[in-house]
Every structure is written in C-alpha cells, then in structure tokens.
Amino acid sequence: MFQIKASATVLLAAILALAPPARAAQPLQLIDQNGHAFTLASLQGKPLIVTFVAAHCTDACPLINAQFQQADQLFAQRHLAVRLLTVTLDPEHDPPAVMRDLARRFNANPKRWMFASGSVKNVHAVMNVFGVQAERGRSGYADVHTTFVYLFDKRGRLNKTILASTILGAQLADEVRTQWRKLEQ
C-alpha cells in the first residue's frame, strides 16, 4: 500500500531543516493551535513524537488522537518532558482554526501537545519530508493515508518509527520509559 519514501538519514537531515531534501530554502513553518508559527527544528530540546491526522477522518485518526491523549496523560503523570505534535494530513480542509477545535476536543495542553496546520504548500512539503501519503476518499477529504508515528530524541534525531495501533498510547509511554536515557541524549 503506502511506503515510507525517505531513508532515516535523509529524513533526519530534512526534518532538522524542515525543508524537502532537494531545497535549500527557508525552513517550512507550520501554525499551532494557538496561531503561532514554528518549525520542527524549533521544537528540539525535548523528545518529540510526531503523527499526521485529518480532522474529518472517521477511521484511524480519531483513534490515533485518543491514543495520543492517553500517552499525553501518562507522560504528565510520570513527569516526562515529552512533546507531542499532530500535523494535519488535509490542510485544504484543516486550517489552524479546525486544528484548534480538534486540540480542544482532546484536551491538548499546547505546552505538551501541539496540533498544527499551515499553508497547503508547507504542510504538503512536511508530509513529503516524512514520506506521508494521503489520498482523497469519496467524501473529498484526505481520509486514505499512512498512519505512522515518529519518535525523535531531544536533538531531533529519529529514534523510531511506529505503526499506529489500538495500543499506541501505552506503547508510546512504554517506549519513552524504556528509551528515556537514549531520547534525552
């Protein structure tokens, strides 16, 4: 079905600049649920877990959001300084206001869990960097897509890629707990 297009080395280099590997342009900016512009590189300093969802998806995306919510609660309970980032797969239908509503629906504390959108061009470029693919379904929304979760250490190095599942929240909490020393390096 879908494949990750970038090797870990290319992915890491591209993510650090948050620009497609072939470009030397300015880092791509996304917009968080509070309307603030940021780049992925600006999030370095804490372990980061990234995923992509579509706000209008009724399949895997609500489950991934619920699992991220569970992981966020576990991180808070364990006093682990981990940042979660959910980026839209469908910037045409998920502008920052829609992502803000989604963040509210899942009680996301923006200090720990960011929901992001941005210009169609920038979001698609970020998706391309991660090798994320999305196709429009019958509804017109990007609801056929890859469902991976990416774990980065505090320096922005890709540590692990996980396929989303129904146990994702606990899996992320366990992964962070087991890999904490490595993620903190």
pLDDT tens digits, one per residue of 84-127 = 999 999 999 999 999 999 999 999 999 999 999 999 999 999 98
Model confidence at 8, pLDDT cuts 50, 70, 90, reads very low
Q: What span, in angstroms and rounded, lies between the C-alpha atoms of 178 and 5?
A: 28
Strands (E), 8-136: 30-32, 37-38, 48-53, 83-88, 113-117, 134-135
Rounded to an integer, the average pLDDT of 51-77 is 88
pLDDT tens digits, one per residue of 33-49 = 999 999 999 999 989 99
Task: Please report the pLDDT score of residue 182 as a whole number.
Answer: 59
Average pLDDT across the chain, whole number? 79
3-state secondary structure of 94: coil
The structural domains of the chain, with segments of one domain joined by +, span 8-184
Q: How far is CA 181 from the centre of its chain?
A: 22
State the SS3 of 142-163. CCEECCEEEEECCCCCEEEEEE
Q: Are strands 48-53 and 83-88 parallel, antiparallel or unpaired?
A: parallel
- The structure's pTM equals 0.79
Q: What span, in angstroms and rounded, lies between the C-alpha atoms of 121 and 110?
A: 24
Task: Please report the pLDDT score of residue 115 as a whole number.
Answer: 97
Q: What span, in angstroms and rounded, lies between the C-alpha atoms of 62 and 166?
A: 11
What's the token pair of residue 98? 């829609």
- CATH number among 3.30.450.90, 1.10.3720.10, 3.40.30.10, 3.50.50.60, domain 8-184: 3.40.30.10
